[in-house]
Amino acid sequence: MSATIEPAEPVTGRVIAAATRRAVVPADERRSAPRAGDWQIAAWRSFLRAHAHVMRRLEQDLQANHKVSLATYDVLVQLVEAPEHRLRMSELADAVLLSRSGLTRLVDRMQREGLVERQPDPYDARGLFTVLTAAGLAALKDAAVVHLAGVDELVLSRLTEGELRGMYELMSKIDPLVPEAQLPPDACGIE
């Protein structure tokens, strides 16, 4: 679409700077955040910035090349990875971290575009499956090339193998619910 770099998400200084903090938080309350010193906050801010930076670019790349949003892309990925290319609405909602209603509407749109279909669950008439269509798979194939290239360019290629491992370690400490599996101990075969 447009080549302009337009902000997509407000993130910058969502954290109060330590300077601000000293000015604003009474000294006796500072114990509540004992580690939030100047440069710790700088580290945290760098995290927010990096995230915003990368996500903005990825979203743009996808939209520009395939008119697919990241949310849509995420759904396509979840479906293609699922057995029989289908998932219950609720499961899908959990997988892409969307509310039920949010997912309903997203699937509505995707169905309109022919990327997915809804299938009743024969064993439980309350439930519905969202199933990937041929068009959906094709769209994913298209988008994946662009998207992966983006992730590679913006993130992976900028870090060494060891740094990537380091990042994984750090993130695991921040998010206790570590993703699916542990990082394979020595799956270093870069391709």
Residues that bind DNA (CB under 7 A): 2, 4, 6-8, 10, 69, 71, 88-90, 98-109, 118, 121, 124-129
Contact 190/163 with Cβ under 8 angstroms? no
3-state secondary structure of 63: helix
Given candidates 65, 71, 113, 127, which one binds a second copy under the rule CB under 8 A?
A: 71
Q: Does 64 bind a second copy (CB under 8 A)?
A: no
Given candidates 3, 24, 125, 134, which one binds a second copy under the rule CB under 8 A?
A: 24
Residue closer to DNA (CB basis): 101 or 157:
101
Given candidates 1, 2, 3, 35, which one binds a second copy under the rule CB under 8 A?
A: 35
Question: What is the rounded distance in angstroms from the CA atom of residue 127 to the CA atom of residue 146?
Answer: 34
Q: Does 167 bind a second copy (CB under 8 A)?
A: yes
52 alpha carbon, distance to own chain's centre:
11
Bridge partner list, 128: 120
For 93, other C-beta atoms within 10 Å of its C-beta total 21
